[in-house]
Amino acid sequence: MTSPTQTEPPFLPLRHGGWATKRTPWWIFAVLVVVVIGVVVVSLTHKPSQSQRASDLKGYFGDVTTGVGSCAAGLQGSESAYDQVLGGDTAQAKTALAIFTYGGSNCTVAGNEALNDFANYQVTESLAALNLDTADNDVITWAFDATTYQQDMLAALAAANAPAARAKAETALGPALATVNAERATIDAIWNAAKRSTGDATPLPNLTAQAQAGQNASGVGG
C-alpha cells in the first residue's frame, strides 16, 4: 500500500535574528554609567574658582582698557584743551581744534582699530553670567556719545566769533556731557556688580568725562 502524496512543504521552525535573541550585555550599561559620571566630574572639575574668576575679570578690564583707552584719553585731551581756551589761552585754540578732530575720530570703530576689535570682543566663559556683554555694547555706545560731545566742543570753539552759532553749540554741550556720563554710570554699575561677585579689586577703566567743560561753555570767546 503506498503512502499518500505530501502536498504541503515540510514544517521548518522560524529563525530569529541575533538582535532578537541576544540581550544587551550588562557591561555596556556599566560603561555608559561610567561615561556619564565622568562627564559630570569633568564639568565640576573645570568650574572656575572664585580666585580664577577674579583673575579673569582683571584680565577683562585690561582688555577693555586696551580697546577703549585711547578714546578715553582722547576725550580727556579734548576737555583739557577746551578748558585752556576757556581760561584765556587763545593761542591754544588752533591746537584744540586738531585735538578735537583727532579725539572724536579715535572714538569711532572706523577710526580706531583697537576699538573696532573690542566691538567683536567675546567675554570668557567663566564670566558669562556677569552681564559683561551688555557692558561691552554700552562701551561702544559711550564712545559714540564721546564723539558727539567732542564735536560739540569743536563747534563751540569754531564759532567763537559767531554769537548765534556759538550759543547754539554751547547749548548742546550740557546734554552731550550728561549723555556721556549717564552711559558711563550704567557701565560702571555692571562692572562694580562683577567686582562684588568675584572679589576682584582692580580699578575700573576710567570713562569719566569732566563736568568743567560743559559748565564753563558760556565763557567761550568771552
pLDDT string in tens for the chain (222-residue length):
555 555 555 555 545 555 444 566 666 666 566 555 654 444 445 588 999 999 999 999 999 999 999 999 999 999 999 888 877 787 778 888 889 889 999 999 999 999 999 999 999 999 999 999 999 999 999 999 999 999 999 888 888 778 888 888 888 899 999 999 999 999 999 999 999 999 999 999 999 887 544 444 444 444
Residue in 49, 68, 54 with CA at minimum distance from that of residue 187: 68
- For residue 95 the three cell numbers come to 591746537
Q: DSSP for 65-116, please give it.
A: HHHHHHHHHHHHHHHHHHHHHHTT-TTHHHHHHHHHHHHHHHTSTTT-HHHH
Distance CA 34, CA 20 (A): 27
| pLDDT at site 162 | 82
Q: Do residues 63 and 121 make contact, with C-beta atoms less than 8 angstroms apart? A: yes
Domain map (residue ranges) of the chain:
51-213
Residue in 23, 154, 9, 167 with CA at minimum distance from that of residue 93: 154
Q: Do residues 43 and 97 make contact, with C-beta atoms less than 8 angstroms apart? A: no
Provide the greatest CA pair distance for the chain.
Answer: 143
Distance CA 63, CA 75 (A): 19
DSSP 217: G
| pLDDT at site 167 | 85
| pLDDT at site 23 | 63
Q: From residue 72, how far is each of 75, 86, 96, 210, 221 by CA, in Å?
A: 5, 21, 16, 11, 26
| pLDDT at site 40 | 46
| pLDDT at site 100 | 86
Distance CA 199, CA 57 (A): 9
| pLDDT at site 222 | 41
Q: What is the pTM assigned to this prediction?
A: 0.74
